[in-house]
Every structure is written in structure tokens, then in C-alpha cells.
Amino acid sequence: MAAVGQDGPYQRGIAGDSYNTAIYLARAGHAVSYLTRLGTDAQSDAIVQAMASEGLDTQHVAQIAGRQPGLYLIDNDADGERHFSYWRNDAPVRQLFDDPMALENLSAFFFTGITLAVTRSGADNLLALLAQLKAQGTRVVFDPNYRAHLWDSPAQAQALTARVLPLVDTALPTLEDETALWGIKDVDACAGHFIEHGVAEVVVKGPALTSYVYAGPVLRAQRQAEPVKALDTTGAGDAFNAGYLAQRLRGASAAEALESAQQLAARVVQHRGAILPKDEV
């Protein structure tokens, strides 16, 4: 659950990095199933209802008696940059991969570094799931989305991420995050880091609103977005991911996908909250 303040009462919203991406993929016409764990309280019921209203398949959403979802508050500064406060240490999603699971008939499986951080007690089961999906021909897509406060140490994040990357087909890193975690200083080095770990396609969100797509060591596309006045940057990267994947999953070129990604992200940051009204997508 998310609440956004704007010099007045806070408003309840439903958001989260992978959730935001899932919503925009569904709105783009893709069949999307969401995998998570919730409680049995009124807030959890509202989340399930919101998923269903957006066309997300909820068969993989389990509700655990006596539990409640995580909560966070978002405030924005004058430039639209967001600042978070979290209450989610006991969120049931933390046990998402504590038991083995199998998934079938997926064209793509998307997860993030936040997923990795909060479910790390089940890391071995997640890795087994990714290996199974990759063997089935499912495209495994990963946004590293490094958030230091979710990990015990950078070394812990590095170790688990390094185990995951050989099972990833497409990575969507942000250079700023990779600098914080690995000390990587430039776009080429960032792409090279993921390629060295076996990732076939790397989409780097770089500085100056410029993004890059690498297929192996080859730069396939590069595009600078038009600057816009940001009201709230919450969900910008998630929207970028959705815009890119929505096109690539349809067979569009990397250049076409980058344009779609940047356009959707630009629209999102001009609104409060991570999810645009339905009639605007």
C-alpha cells in the first residue's frame, strides 16, 4: 500500500515496483499474472480487487490469515523527487519463496532487486524457479533496483545478485544504482558487468535522460528523452520497464521499445503517484 502526501491529508494508493510494471503491461494488452503474498485484512482485499480491476490474473496471489501488507508513505520535494518511509518488515511477501514452486506456460517472468531483497530467506527456491523457467524457454527479466536499506550489507546484495544474473535474459539496470552497489562508473562498464554474467540483453538507464540497449557487447540503440517538468518521480523506472517490455514482447526493435519506455515514464512523472488514471494510458 502507498500513501502520497501533498500539503494535506494523505491519500491511499496501491503501488510497488513490480506491481506498477505489471499494471502498465496489462494496460498495453498483455496477459499478466501477478505473484505475491498478502494478508486477509481489508487492505489486502482492496489490493486483490485493484489487481482484478486492472485485468491482472490473481491465481498466484495467496492470502495468509492474520497478516497485513506492507505500508509506505511518499513525500515529494520541489523537483518531484520522492522520499519514502516504510513499514513492511512483517509483510507476508517476505515468505513468497520459502517453499518451492513451479510455474508454467509463461512467455516472460519479471522480478526486481526489491523482490530479491525482501524474499531472500527463500533465495534457493527462487533460483530453482528461475532455472526451471529458463529451461522452459521463458524470458527472465530483471530490474536490479538496488535499495541499500533492504539489505544487511552491500556484500550480501552483491553475492545474491551474482547468483541470479546467469539465469537472466534481459536486465534493466539504472547506472546510479549500479554505482552504489558495485562502484560502476559509466554506461559501457555497467553493460559489460551484466554481459560478463551471461545476460544477453542489457538496457541501461543512464544519466542525462539517456538510455542504452546492448545485445551482448554491441550497442543496439541509444536515445535521450525530452525533459519534462516532474511533479512526482515515483514509478518512473517501473513505467520505463513496462514501456520497453510491452514493445519487445511484441517483437519491436530496441529503438522502438526505448521510445515507448521514455514516453510512458515522462507521462508518469507529470502526475502524482505511480499509476496514471486508466483513461490516460
Residues classed as catalytic: 238
- Give burial (CB, 10 Å; 0-12/13-18/19+) of 118: buried
Is the Cβ–Cβ distance between 148 and 154 less than 8 Å? yes
Is the Cβ–Cβ distance between 169 and 110 less than 8 Å? no
Phi, psi for residue 134 in degrees, rounded to 5: -60, -40
171, three cell numbers: 536486465
- Strand pairing of 108-112 and 82-87? unpaired
**DSSP state for residue 59 in the 8-state scheme:** T
Sign for the pseudo-dihedral over CA of 63, 67, 70, 73: positive
Separation between Cα atoms, residue 95 and residue 91, nearest integer Å: 8
